[in-house]
Amino acid sequence: MISKEDILKNFLKEDTEDVLKVYECMSLAYSKGIPMFTKFFCKPNIWLFFINKFNSNNFKVEAKGAFDECDRRILAFNNIYDIPMPYRIVKIINKSKFNNLCHKDYLGAIMALGLEREKLGDLRVIDDFAIVPIYDKVADYVISELSSVGRAPVIVEEVFEDNLPKCNYVEEIIIVSSLRLDSIVAKLAKLSRGKAIDLIDSGKVLVDYSKSSQKSKDIKTNQRITIGGTGKFIIGEIVGSTKSGKYKVKINKFV
């Protein structure tokens, strides 16, 4: 198995702690021949790397986070018995008719209970409620202790995966001169390439939730681009080209 030092070369310093935790989990599953799960939800750049690098016919690696197209997922190694992932799904219902709650309201209220962000998967707000998968060891605590979000009283209950809402996004086609990060960001944010480069240099652009300063890096299918003040996008396939040789690229913009 590849050494942890070689694995760390693929990540930024800010991801070191999480990557080492995942590596130790994987090493134990590999050496003992037992199923192992991470005790936290991993960012896309982490779980995608471990799946692409280590999943094989002899060693099963998968990631799941309740929703289709979710970003944060728990990694499972050698789960040959298909043991359920160690998370539970919680629904938080806003009972106030006078307080409209948004994503940051729900997330802030949960974290105010003393939880770390890594113990929560993707949180989605639909109308007057939010749904979030929570690491199973702390789910009961959230269900019993969360009684309000801001000034709004809430009801908290467990729900199951067969009745979850679908992800909301808009599918679009963009036309770009290249697949470089600066070109993609310029088109998505409706900026000049120079201003897009300024955004990248300032750390306001994330590729699979990691800061990237490589302006000339080619963006690949299924990578997630987050642009501060603009939104989050999943890059799809190249679906054609223009007469001038520009690329037509499918994207999904989250709404």
Structure tokens at 12: 């930024």
Q: Mind listing the pLDDT tens digit for each residue in 77-87?
A: 999 999 999 99
Structure tokens at 43: 């960012």
Residue that wins the pLDDT comparison between 69 and 42: 42
Q: Are 254 and 232 in contact (CB under 8 A)?
A: yes
Domain ranges of the chain: 4-77, 87-163, 169-254
Side chain identity, residue 96: S
- At 102, the pLDDT band (50, 70, 90 cuts) reads very high
What is the C-alpha to C-alpha distance for residues 204 and 226, in angstroms, rounded to an integer? Answer: 8
CATH homologous superfamily for the domain 87-163: RRM (RNA recognition motif) domain (3.30.70.330)
The residues facing 88 across adjacent strands are: 134
Mean pLDDT for the chain overall:
93
| pTM > 0.85: yes or no | no
DSSP state of 85: P
Q: Are 59 and 30 in contact (CB under 8 A)?
A: yes
CATH domain 169-254 topology: 3.10.290
Question: Is a pLDDT exceeding 80 seen at residue 2?
Answer: yes
R_g over Cα of the chain: 20
- At 168, the pLDDT band (50, 70, 90 cuts) reads confident
What is the C-alpha to C-alpha distance for residues 58 and 148, in angstroms, rounded to an integer? Answer: 47
Residue 57 has what pLDDT? Answer: 95
Domains 87-163 and 169-254 share a fold: no
Looking up tokens 């990540």, which residue turns up?
Answer: 11
| Dihedral sign of CA atoms 103, 104, 106, 107 in order | positive
Does residue 52 sit in helix, strand or coil? Answer: helix
